[in-house]
Amino acid sequence: MDAIILLGGPGAGKGTLADALRKQKGFFHVSTGDMLRAAVKSGSDVGLEVKSCMESGELVPDSVVLNIIKERVTRESSSAQFMFDGFPRTLEQAEGLHTFFSEIGGVITHVFNLDADREALICRLTARRTCKTCGAIYHIINMPSKVDGICDVDGGELYQRADDSEETILNRLEVYQKQTAPLIGYYRDLGLIRDIDAGGSAAETEALVLAVLNG
């Protein structure tokens, strides 16, 4: 079992890149963000805990995230190729993943560090809108819907997620720098980091990553 990891601050383009790589390379896309939002929607005790963390911009407890990841990975065969998007976010999660993958004979092959300017990240996130019905994502500047506030796919209402407000974004960036950025050093020491300039278009970022994977 192989896996790659996408690292980068909020708004670096991990989700967009992950979708492109899934189509191009056939990875199983494991998005902790999607999984955590599903937990919130379920209304379970775990979901309520996750909701509180997400709305304040704080990280969800490592134990909760690791259990969600383990449950997802063990659904697939030993030959599966995974792509982790938004995970790990702390050294504890990284170490937990390393231990788990060692136990199941898995290998992390690449860790892509998507690097973008702080102001660009804030602009990307504050202008992001999501469909309430299907979850499609738009950007009011770079990728607006055809009709303002309405999803092109199913006509659902577009809204700004609570974790995309400017106040929460600033807190998310601060949390990232304090708790997640050290992962770059951790994986660099393991020889797995591949630095990617994510300041350009999504297509440019995709091309840079594919060049590494296909090399």
**Which residues, in sequence order, are CB contacts of 206 under 8 Å at separation 6+?**
17, 20, 21, 24
Dist. CA 13–CA 136, nearest whole Å: 15
Annotated catalytic residue within 37, 89, 124, 129:
89
Annotated catalytic residue within 25, 70, 72, 161:
161
Cβ count near 33 (within 10 Å): 15
124 is catalytic: no
128 is catalytic: yes
Annotated catalytic residue within 37, 51, 172, 194:
172
Dist. CA 180–CA 90, nearest whole Å: 5
Dist. CA 55–CA 160, nearest whole Å: 12
Dist. CA 89–CA 152, nearest whole Å: 33
Q: Are strands 158-159 and 107-115 parallel, antiparallel or unpaired?
A: unpaired
User: Measured between alpha carbons, how far is residue 128 from residues 84, 104, 136, 215 in Å?
Assistant: 22, 38, 11, 33
14 is catalytic: yes
Residue 92 tokens, joined: 């504890």
Annotated catalytic residue within 37, 51, 124, 128:
128
Dist. CA 130–CA 157, nearest whole Å: 8
**Which residues, in sequence order, are CB contacts of 58 under 8 Å at separation 6+?**
171, 175
Annotated catalytic residue within 14, 37, 51, 194:
14
172 is catalytic: yes
* Catalytically active residues, by annotation: 14, 89, 128, 161, 172
